[in-house]
Structure 1
Amino acid sequence: MLTLPPNHEQRYGLSNEVHARPPEPLEGPVKLSCIALTTNWPYSDADQEVVAELTRRYGATPPGPGVKHYSVDLRDFRLIWERHTEFTRYTFIVPVKAGVAAFSPSAIEAAPADWIAKLPGELIVATHAVLLPAGEEMPTHAGLSAQHFSGNALIGASIAGGAAISATDFRLHADGFSRFLVINRSMTPWHAGRIVQRLLEIETYRIMALMALPVAQALTPKLSAWETDLSLVTTEMTASGADDEARLLGRLTGLQAAIEKSHTETQFRFSAAAAYYALVQRRIRELREDRLADMQTFNEFTERRLAPAMDTCQSTARRQAELSERVDRAAQLLSAKVDKALQTQNRQILESMNKRAELQLRLQQTVEGLSVAAITYYVVGVVGYFAGGLQAIGVQIDPKFAMGIAAPISLALAIAGVWHTRRQLEQREKSVSGST
């Protein structure tokens, strides 16, 4: 039997990633309800616990630990549970009964009302989708709008190479749900499942992308105020003196901290919006739309309505990043100006210290000269007293002569002693500075 090397700890997880969140095959006329609830990062098991509680009611097997996608048939309805980074999505699927309206009652009404009410998170997306077989005659757009969309203007197209027709109005109806209608011409169950899944993902990712728009709108007046403050500071910088530079640097530092805080708080939202928008565009391309007369396609609608919102978010993010760079440059410029002023002050201090050192050296030399004179005077005086004492006891010596002889000798010895002492101090100072 072949023995392979040990598996990498992530091998199976990475291999199965391409099969994550597979579509459900949809056969016959069915209706779906999909709701997405925002969740906090990191992942919490609260959503998985409520799903497990529902499966226990129906005697089904609950989702296992670490599962992010779970599908189960609970007799009255089929439930699909999906865990994403920012939201958890629940999809309910029931068959369309004969003689019952397409969107009423909805699929979600088949689930226990008390269980729906205690789902964790905040509702961000709610949409219904209905898959119906094509009849012998296709209804008119006005008829579809009047029957299913309260007379609203429709967005839609022939999709999947003409295998189906899809329509929506991208509006929230009286029950708080948006609606998608898919008329199946020739799709297989798996194909139909993929198409409906993409439509539900378009609606989910569209709303998640738009979550950045209120952030951008709230940030715009702050950016304007910060730009005005930066303009005032840079204007004052051109005419500021040394006394104003520290104050201006403090203002710039505070402005920089506020912008960086805002950037940290909004960076993820803007980046996520760009990612969600890219997913919306990708899912629309996968529909392979063909135009229906007098109806906007999904791509046209998103480019006309969603694209400007995303442009606003992207421009706001760029504006914030550029403002941060401008503040940083201004702070660097002012810091360089402050450093130059400090260097000038330090140079002046060093020059003053050098002058003091020169004065101290001159004073020291003066004191040394006075010390030599004082020592010579003292020694000569001692010699004079000594010679006078010898003369008093009968020794023939002239005190003045002795003092005259002692004066140059004492002066030479005093000079030599001071020079030797200075020489020792200089050598000791050199040895200390060399060791440091």
Structure 2
Amino acid sequence: MSSRLASLDIHPLRNELYNELHSRPFQVLPTPARVTQIAVLTTPEQRQAQFHHLQELHRLLGHPVPEQEVSCFEHTFGTLSSGTLRVRREMHMEFASYTFINLAASDQAPFLETGISPLPEGWLEALTGTVIAAFHLDVRPAADGTRDDLDYVRKHFEGMRLVGSSPQEGAARVWGTFRLHSDGFGRFMVMNHHMSDSQLGRLTQRLMEIETYRLMSLLALPVAREITPALNDMDEQLAVITRSLAENEAVDEETLLARLTHIAARIEAFRAQSTFRFSATRAYHRLVLTRLEELREDELSGHLTLTEFMTRRLTPAVKTCEAVSERLEDLSRRVDRASDMMRTRVELAIQSQNQQVLSSMDRRSKIQLMMQHTVEGFSVVAITYYLVGLLKLGLESAHDAGVDFNKTLILGIAIPVVMALVYLGVRVVHHRFIRMAKHQ
């Protein structure tokens, strides 16, 4: 490192970030060549097993064994004089792609000898993972004219309808069917007119990525088809629930909430199952469209170009997946709104019940107040009666002791006075309790 940078704080990923843009270089591919690509879905456990399997290939062919796994590994076995096999392994997020390039000169017809022909017997069959893409790509020099190209190509695609174009302003001709042939592999043929080895390598790389990514993008279609009937059923249930709420029908709120909760749980389960797959489909589809744009195709002999074929066949499938994904999100939002309406309805019902309870309590309070006033009146009379009785006993005792006075007159005058004093005392106590209650 330069002494000028030695004292600076260097990001630990700086070198890795620089190398990332150069980790997957384009092939340099001569003409003729036979290429086979196999893409396998892998788990983290299978990746390690696949690397050990790649090391075994080196041992079988007598080459030094790689010690460290990298995201893009490439090695050439043999020489041009004895037959050359180039193996390239690229690790992606969900899958690993193996590209086998047979560069040995051969006069055999297309697809009789392929990129995997030089592999040791039994090695490919022991490869772990689930195959998602497998196809041969035969690169040959072009015939003298387009018609001669087409007559030659037709014989090697088992009578299937061809898709073809002239990429890079006529520098080559590309033919394929996007179907599986009798050997279980797909097929492409590239007729090289005047492409350099570097240009040809970039062209074949784009073709392989288009085929692999378009299959990866279609993985979500079975998922979309599987969950669509369930979405239809939940949509109908939600429509019934929403209509009953809108029409203010007498419904069992507890039952409706249970149904809404069940629908919401199913939607979340479907989202957990499909969200990543649908997002990956959109990403792979964008990659396919980008690679198609880079081909810069021209039409050939009235055949569909690769771009036209993908637009007519792949794009509707991707749109279907996107529609199901959007429908899941829409159902989730509608369930949330219906749940909000149901909660609002329950809250209003609870508030109405509370209002009725408060009104009933208010009525009972008024009745209790009236009863309290009545009791207070009775209590004044009772207390006055007992106090006057006591006063009478005192007056009789004083009269018997020789004090001369008119008992009857004094008692008559005392009764209203005692009653007034008792009434005032009761009111004072009553108001004191009210003030105490207000301060609490």
Q: What is the TM-score normalised by the length of structure 1?
A: 0.89
C-alpha RMSD over aligned residues: 2.7
Q: Which amino acid aligns with 1:34?
A: Q
Where 1:127 maps in the other structure, the secondary structure is: strand
Q: Are the aligned partners of 2:35 and 2:136 in contact in 1 as well (CA < 8 Å)? A: yes
Q: Which residue of 2 aligns with 1:145?
A: 154
Cα distance change of structure 1 residues 378 and 107 upon mapping to structure 2, 3 Å threshold: same
Of 17, 22, 25, 2:25 maps to: 22
Which residue does 1:13 correspond to in 2? 16
Distance of aligned partners of 1:369 and 1:180 in 2 relative to their CA distance in 1, 3 Å threshold = same
CA distance in 2, matches of 1:402, 1:39: 115
Query: Gapped runs of 5+ residues in structure 2?
Result: 79-83
- Contact 2:34 2:113 (8 Å CA) reproduced: no
Q: Call closer, same or farther: CA 1:119–1:368 in 2, change over 3 Å.
A: farther
**Secondary structure in structure 1 of the residue aligned to 2:269:** helix
* Alignment match, 2:81: none
Kindly tell me: are residues 289 and 64 of structure 1, through their superposed partners in 2, closer, same or farther at Cα, counting changes over 3 Å? same
Go from structure 1 to structure 2 and tell me whether the alpha carbon gap of 1:371 and 1:39 turns closer, same or farther (over 3 Å shift): farther
Equivalent positions of 1:125-204 (< 5 A) are 125-135=133-143, 139-146=148-155, 148-204=156-212
CA distance in 2, matches of 1:42, 1:282: 32
Question: Identity of aligned pairs, percent?
Answer: 39
Check conservation: 2:153, 2:189, Cα contact below 8 A: no
CA distance in 2, matches of 1:104, 1:18: 36
Cα distance per residue 1:172-228 (max 9 Å; x no partner): 112211011112222222222111111000000111111122122222222222222
Deviation at 1:260, TM superposition (A): 3.2
| Aligned equivalents of 1:119, 1:370: Cα separation in 2 | 104
**Match for residue 38 of structure 1 among 36, 41, 44:** 41
1:12-411 to 2 correspondences below 5 Å: 12-40=15-43, 45-55=48-58, 57=60, 58-62=62-66, 64=68, 67-75=70-78, 77-135=85-143, 139-146=148-155, 148-239=156-247, 241-411=249-419
Please say if 1:430 is aligned against 2:434: no
Contact 2:267 2:328 in 1 (8 A): yes
SS at match of 1:359: helix
2: distance between equivalents of 1:385 and 1:255? 86
Pick closer, same or farther for the CA change 1:41–1:240 going to 2, 3 Å. farther
1:6 partner SS:
coil
CA deviation after TM superposition for structure 1 residue 171, in Å: 1.3
Amino acid at match of 1:129: L
Pair 1:232–1:241, CA change in 2 (3 A): closer
Following superposition, the deviation at residue 397 of structure 1 comes to: 4.3
Q: CA deviation at 1:51?
A: 3.0
Supply the distance in 2 between the matched residues of 1:420 and 1:46 (Cα, whole angstroms).
Answer: 96
Q: Which amino acid aligns with 2:10?
A: N
Deviations 1:327-375 (A, max 9, x none): 3333333333333222222211111111111112222222222222222
For residue 290 of structure 1, report the CA deviation from its aligned partner: 1.6
Residues of 1 paired with 2:328 and 2:14: CA distance? 40
- How many residue pairs get matched? 430
Distance between the aligned counterparts of 1:331 and 1:113, measured in 2? 63
1:34–1:90 contact (8 Å) kept in structure 2: yes
* Aligned 8 A contact 2:149 2:191 in 1: no
Query: Secondary structure, in 3 states, of the residue corresponding to 1:22?
Result: coil
Amino acid of the residue matched to residue 264 of structure 2? Q
The verdict on how the C-alpha distance between 1:140 and 1:376 changes in structure 2, with shifts beyond 3 A counting, is: same
Cα contact 2:87–2:99 (8 A) shared by 1: yes
Tell me which amino acid in the other structure corresponds to 2:151.
A
**Structure 2 contact 46–128 (Cα < 8 Å) conserved:** no
Counterpart code for 2:224: A
For the 8 Å contact 2:166–2:173, the answer to whether it is kept is: yes
Out of 403, 414, 429, the residue aligned to residue 421 of structure 1 is 429
Structure 1, gaps ≥5 residues long = none
